[in-house]
Structure 1
Amino acid sequence: MNEHVLRALEAVTAERAGDAVLSVRGLTVRFRLRGGRGVAAVTDACFDLAAGECLALVGESGCGKSVLASALLGLLPGNAETAGTAHLDGTDLLAAGERTLARTVRGRRIGLVPQSPAAHLTPVRTVRAHLEETVRALTDTPRRERRATAEAAAGRAAFPAGHLDRYPHELSGGLAQRAATALALIGDAPLLIADEPTTGLDRELVDRTADELRRHTDDGKALLLITHDLAAARRVADRVAVMYAGRIVELTTAARFFGTPGPRHPYARGLLNALPEREFTPIPGLPPELSDLPEGCAFAPRCARATAACAVRPAFEAGIACHHPFGAEDA
């Protein structure tokens, strides 16, 4: 990790020193491919996440958000190479072995709402059975109380009681999502990673799910919310990290990102301007392939503010990686 990244990280997260639940430094994930090629899925990600805080990680599909989450949980495929550190209560998640992650981290210290919940549910067990088994595995709840605890978790995730005895193949995508959210909440883990937790839900249920995640955070837990839904992020996030082509290009408060003066990175501002309630103007072009990233700024080919200076990759300084960021005069 270069000195620019370290200096910028210190400036952005100094006020959180000492109370971070999760501290990520230089997290990098590269996938080895046949023929010697590689895919730089995540590069030099750095952030802290404090107790009682929600950090929303946003960006277009394929930018590396879910890969970052998988790296924290040790769920990457065998052709993945990782670098950096990710400390959770004294444990470096990137260096920990499968035994440690399986027995002491997943479910107990990190709860996960997966992006594809149906793939994480056992097809021959009902939702109720999933919930009760998770209660048994992760809590000290007496056997006679497990049913009520499971039903309470379902209620928190707005999963209808009348569907608890259904099997995964009998659930809609939205119901599977709510079942996965209920499972993630049971362990009351200090860190919750929610990867697109509102996919397949209507607006009312999106708001209800977001509010429940916010309540979980307000109880003193940390939340890493990975989402395309900027409305949900605005509802619950304290800070926003914007990811593009595997890199975090802006890290700022939610108040600034969604309010005035707004985000400073042209890509971050473009995400907001693409919303129907704003300018409804899409960002031109497409993101680059992670296997063929340019030497300079990866966003330059799509950016109206790009100049010759963008042929050099911008350093991440003061919460932003951009040669030509927006300033107060652009608000």
Structure 2
Amino acid sequence: MRGGRYVAAVTGATFELRAGECLALVGESGCGKSVLASALLGLLPGNAETAGAALLGGTDGLDLLTADQRTLARTVRGRRIGLVPQSPAGHLTPVRTVRSQLRETVRELTRARGTALDEAVEAAAERAAFPADHLDRYPHQLSGGLAQRAATALALVGDAPLLLADEPTTGLDRELVDRTADELRRHADAGRALLMITHDLAAAERIADRVAVMYAGRIVEFARAADFFGGPGPRHPYARGLLDALPERGFTPIPGMPPELGALPDGCAFAARCDRAAAACSAVPALTGGVACHHPHPAAGETHRA
């Protein structure tokens, strides 16, 4: 609820994420991606409401949306689900050094002691490309990129079965983006699941198995990463516009701005920005065949639309 009115930040998001898989959730700022991640960890504001189910561990698993805070804090966060937060500075304890925070996390999750603990701390920092000579610094002494790497190191420590990485490459140069993405991919390749929320389509292309595109609180396309970034390309006009806006793809921006989640138009939320909009777009399109659009681009092997 915002200002006494309800805002549907995420609507009808349905997907499965399997062990060993990376799903990249992409879309413009404000479309609901980070809200979805916060809901899975019980980190929404106190006035937020959720409906549906988010099952951790299959159909008989723990429902994250109804689990109490004690359960989430003691058995889920950091143990079964790791989080690389969108705003790392807000998740680092300001009065403790990075080394101290890593030591506590490593000790709690791995029960390492003595020399083994110190070695595990340095190994955790190395995984996230965090420089060892910065371990004794406090969060306020770190650049945005270093804070991001510190948060990534903390998230990777427990090798949680599910990792939520919310904009994990923010503030990093291209070399570090690739290194971080590759480390996240190794997390999945070890038989764990990875949900990467990102604006960085190059990083998503590098490591994702599947791509989910979110617009105005709804998932509007699911695709195999190989099909999304190559082959036939995205089918939803918005998803195709995201790729066309990349410098290496034409640098053509999507016209207009996304609608406010509290004032969504009737029908397709993208229609006002879409060159394929027609009368049918006055109704909200259902997600059918992996795309929620009345006039999608053809799929592989199609030569026309009915």
TM-score normalised by the chain length of structure 1: 0.89
- Structure 1 segments, 4+ long, off by >4 Å, are none
Residue among 62, 74, 79 paired with 2:47: 79
Residue among 25, 30, 37 paired with 1:62: 30
Q: Equivalent residue of 2:49, what SS?
A: strand
1:33 aligns with 2:2: yes
1:293 aligns with 2:264: yes
Q: Equivalent residue of 1:48, what SS?
A: coil
Residue among 19, 42, 47 paired with 2:10: 42
* Equivalent runs, 1:236-247 vs 2, <5 Å: 236-247=207-218
- Structure (1/2) with the larger strand percentage: 1
- The answer for the alignment partner of 1:171 in structure 2 is 142
Q: Which amino acid aligns with 2:291?
A: I
1:310 aligns with 2:281: yes
Q: Equivalent residue of 1:67, what SS?
A: helix
- The answer for the alignment partner of 2:237 in structure 1 is 266
The Cα of 1:144 is off from its aligned counterpart by 3.6
Q: Which amino acid aligns with 2:41?
A: L
Q: Which amino acid aligns with 1:87?
A: L
Q: Equivalent residue of 1:210, what SS?
A: helix
Q: Equivalent residue of 1:47, what SS?
A: coil
* Equivalent runs, 1:151-300 vs 2, <5 Å: 151-300=122-271
TM-score normalised by the chain length of structure 2: 0.96
Identity %: 77
Query: Which digits, 9 at most, give the CA deviation of each residue in 1:59-98, with x for residues without a partner?
Result: 0000000000000000000110100100002100001000
The Cα of 1:38 is off from its aligned counterpart by 1.3
- The answer for the alignment partner of 2:103 in structure 1 is 132
Q: Equivalent residue of 1:240, what SS?
A: strand
C-alpha separation between the residues in 2 aligned to 1:57 and 1:102? 25
Query: Which digits, 9 at most, give the CA deviation of each residue in 1:139-159, with x for residues without a partner?
Result: 222344111101101000000
Q: Equivalent residue of 1:42, what SS?
A: coil
Q: Which amino acid aligns with 1:68?
A: L
C-alpha separation between the residues in 2 aligned to 1:34 and 1:301? 26
Query: Which digits, 9 at most, give the CA deviation of each residue in 1:217-256, with x for residues without a partner?
Result: 1001100000000000000000000000000000110000
- The answer for the alignment partner of 1:8 in structure 2 is none
The Cα of 1:193 is off from its aligned counterpart by 0.3
C-alpha separation between the residues in 1 aligned to 2:279 and 2:49? 33
- The answer for the alignment partner of 1:122 in structure 2 is 93
Q: Equivalent residue of 1:60, what SS?
A: coil
- The answer for the alignment partner of 1:15 in structure 2 is none
Q: Which amino acid aligns with 1:319?
A: G
Query: Which digits, 9 at most, give the CA deviation of each residue in 1:159-203, with x for residues without a partner?
Result: 001101111011000000000000000011000000000000000
* Equivalent runs, 1:3-42 vs 2, <5 Å: 32-35=1-4, 37-42=5-10
C-alpha separation between the residues in 1 aligned to 2:237 and 2:2? 32
Residue among 88, 102, 116 paired with 2:56: 88
Q: Equivalent residue of 1:46, what SS?
A: coil
C-alpha separation between the residues in 2 aligned to 1:329 and 1:171? 53
C-alpha separation between the residues in 2 aligned to 1:39 and 1:316? 21
Q: Which amino acid aligns with 1:291?
A: G
- 5+ long unaligned stretches in structure 2: none
Q: Which amino acid aligns with 2:2?
A: L
- The answer for the alignment partner of 1:103 in structure 2 is 74
Q: Which amino acid aligns with 1:56?
A: A
- The answer for the alignment partner of 2:295 in structure 1 is 324
Q: Which amino acid aligns with 2:228?
A: F
C-alpha separation between the residues in 2 aligned to 1:116 and 1:70? 12
